[in-house]
Chains A and B, each alone.
Chain A
Amino acid sequence: MDVLIDCYGVTERLAGGPAHALRLPAGASIADALAALAARSVDLARVLPGCACAIGDAIVPRTRALAGGERIALLPPVSGG
């Protein structure tokens, strides 16, 4: 199945762009998606442990199973205000 990772903040720079398509086996979880992403960039892999993931308007745990076509927002540590 194909999913899309939308990178925010510093992860967009480290990943080399805002959106990244991933092809994952059926039944893959958020954790699997992050592992696939980590394999693409050492610098990105370093910040992933501190990132949250969101789908729509909710933060989701790494154990959450993915469905084909979903978009996952990758949210590094926040610095608003």
Chain B
Amino acid sequence: MRLAGTPLDLDALIEETLDPRSGALVVFSGTVRNHHEGRDVVTLSYSAYAPLAEKLIREIELETVARFGVHHCRVVHRTGALGIGEAAIYAVVRAAHRREAFAAAQYAVDRVKHAVPIWKEEFYADGGSAFVSGCCIAHEEKAA
């Protein structure tokens, strides 16, 4: 599963991708911060359209492996209510060397942020809330 409604398990991803060919392990963790555009954030909630999100994250993993020649790329994204400091996303890349591992991890995270149907709603200290404005994915339409 690429979406998880409970706290993300980094150890499982590390274990799953163990590979004697790999000399580099890069882990990116996106964590919930307590501010956004000058407002104090107290909590947030991620929701997703799971059928497409699961498929797209798997495609991004495969595309990242092929594009950068890395050994493994795994991405998981959290859904539901998250507190400050909690992990919203992990991207784990293993490769022979660090250079392609760093590049691949950055690419995978960027693609997930730009293309996968996941939405962040922030809840503020002043009692308000808002969905964070994001990236339009309508342009990814292909002929059915």
Contacts and interface: CB of A to CB of B under 8 A. Distances in A.
Interface of A: 8-10, 13, 49-54, 56-62, 64, 73, 75-81
25 contacts: A8-B47, A8-B49, A8-B117, A9-B121, A52-B117, A52-B141, A57-B51, A58-B52, A59-B138, A61-B141, A75-B52, A75-B117, A76-B134, A77-B135, A78-B116, A78-B117, A78-B134, A78-B137, A79-B135, A80-B48, A80-B120, A80-B134, A81-B30, A81-B88, A81-B112
Given A9-B131, A59-B140, A76 B119 contact: yes
Contact of A54 (B52, B134, B135): B52
Nearest to B140: A59
Instruction: Categorize the interface residue count of chain B.
Output: 35 or more
B131 A79 contact: yes
B142 A61 contact: yes
A13 B100 CA distance: 41
A78 B89 CA distance: 15
